[in-house]
Amino acid sequence: MKILKQAIACCLFFAVGFQQAEAKPISFAKGSTVMLEYGGGTMIEAQAFYAPKYWWSAGVGAIEFDLADNSTQERVTYVRFNGLAKRWNLPAAQANVFVWGGVGQARSNAFSGSEMAWNYGAQIDYETRRVYSSLRTDWQDADSFKHHTNTLQLGLAPYEHDYDTLATWVVLQARTYDRPLYDGVETALLLRFFKNGTWVEAGITNDKKLQAMAMFNF
């Protein structure tokens, strides 16, 4: 985990608050996705998925939580399946419903040995070339802990990107967590850029913590 932290810290410049990947969990048919997130003081996560078809992907991930008490760490390594439950392709918009689930192994300095941990969640999103909206719910469920986050994102593009141009988005995010992680509603203002197969995102929370995420499709 130490090597993972160092590798991600080298890739991402900013210390960040708690965040999970908000982009779609499936790239495209026969495509691979690598996602890296760094949460300074709260969370670090790395994921890698492969999508044989446009409607499902599978892969592995590792996540570490640092609780608000600043003394408890929980680590989960997992395998996960992502599915596209429904898509609407409209003339100038797309809407999706994603679901995911998986199983892993959890370790912590709060208990000895390891425990089985289930992860599951769902996301619904709607976007045009100007407006992005998504609502996501995420669970990490072990015997010794159960973390649940809900995330709402609303994004606006200052200009409409095209296929081979840089996309720029300003995204407002509101998130609730279970209390051991964070008490209350965290809001964040994020700046998102993507072009070709690279997506980077960075922002600041109401607690003045920086957040960042990088994702690569290939």
Partner 1 sequence: MKTVSKFVLAITFLVLPVFAQAKTIEMEVNGLVCAFCAQGIEKTMRKFPATEDVVVSLENKLVAISLKNGQDISDTQLKKAITDAGYTMVGIKRSEKTIGDIRTKVKS
- What is the C-alpha to C-alpha distance for residues 120 and 167, in angstroms, rounded to an integer? 30
- What is the C-alpha to C-alpha distance for residues 61 and 63, in angstroms, rounded to an integer? 7
**Should residue 91 be labelled a site residue for partner 1 when binding is judged by CB under 8 A?**
yes
**Should residue 101 be labelled a site residue for partner 1 when binding is judged by CB under 8 A?**
no
Which of 85, 86, 160, 207 binds partner 1 (CB under 8 A)? It is: 160
User: Which lies closer to partner 1 via its Cβ, residue 13 or residue 88?
Assistant: 88
User: Which lies closer to partner 1 via its Cβ, residue 128 or residue 206?
Assistant: 128
Shortest Cβ distance from residue 210 to partner 1 (Å)? Answer: 23
**Should residue 97 be labelled a site residue for partner 1 when binding is judged by CB under 8 A?**
no
Q: What mask, x for binding partner 1 by CB under 8 A, covers residues 20 to 39?
A: ---xx--xxxxx--------
Which of 70, 71, 89, 112 binds partner 1 (CB under 8 A)? It is: 89
- What is the C-alpha to C-alpha distance for residues 119 and 78, in angstroms, rounded to an integer? 8
User: Which lies closer to partner 1 via its Cβ, residue 32 or residue 176?
Assistant: 32
- What is the C-alpha to C-alpha distance for residues 102 and 84, in angstroms, rounded to an integer? 15
Shortest Cβ distance from residue 206 to partner 1 (Å)? Answer: 28
